[in-house]
Structure 1
Amino acid sequence: MSAALNPVKRLSLKNPWHFLALGFGSGLAPKAPGTFGSLAAIPVFLLLSPLPWLAYLALTLVAIYGGVYICARASRDMGVHDHSAIVWDEVAGMLITLFMVPVTWQWLLTGFLLFRFFDVLKPWPISWCDRHIHGGFGIMIDDVLAGFLAFACLQGLLVWLG
């Protein structure tokens, strides 16, 4: 399939911006690339989780703000706005979701499921942002909001379960 028919062929994993935009290659999954991008965030979370919370937060903010450029660059290079292979937004959303969550498989699974729920369902205001905001910021903002909603739910569960 030519690059004109498959815009993903316009990207290269050797290009650091493309590599990140594609979630370390996870966005190349033929089915459910957003799910695979969300899963790719888990090792990143595990690397960041031992850091003090302020350092984790700072690096998450770098992932968000840098993601605006990363996603815009990949989108421009593909010639397609918010192609499903661009999953850096899922990585950033998961980092938000898992902020200050105990590092156990149960909490990781719960965070993953909550994030995917909000990312796929796109309740308001996520759906509004997804339709009306474009460019790199538009690619990022819906997943950032999904991450905040999932984070709020996880924190609520943590309080409720004591």
Structure 2
Amino acid sequence: MRLSTVIASVFGIGYFRIAPGTVMSAAAMPPAFLIALYGGGAALLAASIAVFVIGIYACGDHVRATGREDPSECVIDELAGQWLACAFAVMPIGAASGVISLPALALAFVFFRLFDIWKPWPVSWADQKLEGGLGVMADDMLAGLMAGLVVTLIRVMVPL
């Protein structure tokens, strides 16, 4: 198996037969919590960006090798997007500074999956217009950004 495939599938998680993207998003939550716990939201944001960059190359190579655009086994995009949504969920807001809210993380999971599956604009634009590794990764990062913004808005209105 190619190294790019191992990375793009996040060590085989992408080969789950049922809902590999959702499985990856769920598997991303415990490490997201630990990164946030020990490094804060900024560390989780940095980890998301690092995974995004690595994913562009790994998915690009995997797409070229298989000849398929956005293969379902490429789930590193869910990892990056889910961590981005979670970074917003743990960023300090007012009196909630330094507090990791499990309900906020759960909302980040739900809204990320919703936007990743539903693909509202601009997620749909990235999904349809971008190709290769960037095309695989960008729509999930936009879904993560949208989910993060929704969770932030909820956190501002309702203490979680």
Whether TM exceeds 0.5 here: the answer is: yes
Ranges of 4+ aligned residues in structure 1 off by more than 6 Å:
none
Q: Which of 54, 57, 72 is residue 66 of structure 1 equivalent to? A: 54
Which deviates more, 82-91 or 44-53?
Answer: 44-53
The total of aligned residue pairs comes to 149
Shift of 1:157: 1.0
Matched, 1:120 2:117: yes
CA contact (8 A) 2:88 2:148 kept: no
Q: Distance in 1 between matches of 2:22 and 2:59?
A: 17
Aligned to 2:14: 27
Distance 1:96 1:22, change over 3 A: same
TM-score (norm 1): 0.83
Give the whole-Å Cα distance in 1 for the aligned partners of 2:18 and 2:151: 27
The aligned counterpart of 1:99 is: 87
Q: Is the 8 A contact 2:47 2:83 kept in 1?
A: no
- Which residue identity does 2:121 align to in structure 1? W
- Structure 2: distance between partners of 1:104 and 1:83: 33
Q: Which residue of 1 aligns with 2:106?
A: 109
2:126 aligns to what? Answer: 129
After superposition, the Cα gap between the structure-2 partners of 1:52 and 1:35, relative to the gap in structure 1 and judged at 3 Å, is: closer
Which position in structure 1 is the counterpart of 2:26?
Answer: 39
Letter in 2 for 1:38: S
What SS does structure 2 have at the residue aligned with 1:24? coil
Residue in structure 2 matched with residue 75 of structure 1 by the alignment: 63
Give the CA deviation at 1:136.
0.5
1:83 aligns to what SS in structure 2? coil
Give the Cα separation in 2 of the matches to 1:86 and 1:21.
5
Query: Structure 1 residue 48: deviation in Å?
Result: 1.4
The share of aligned pairs that are identical, in percent, is: 35
Unaligned ranges ≥5, structure 1: 1-11
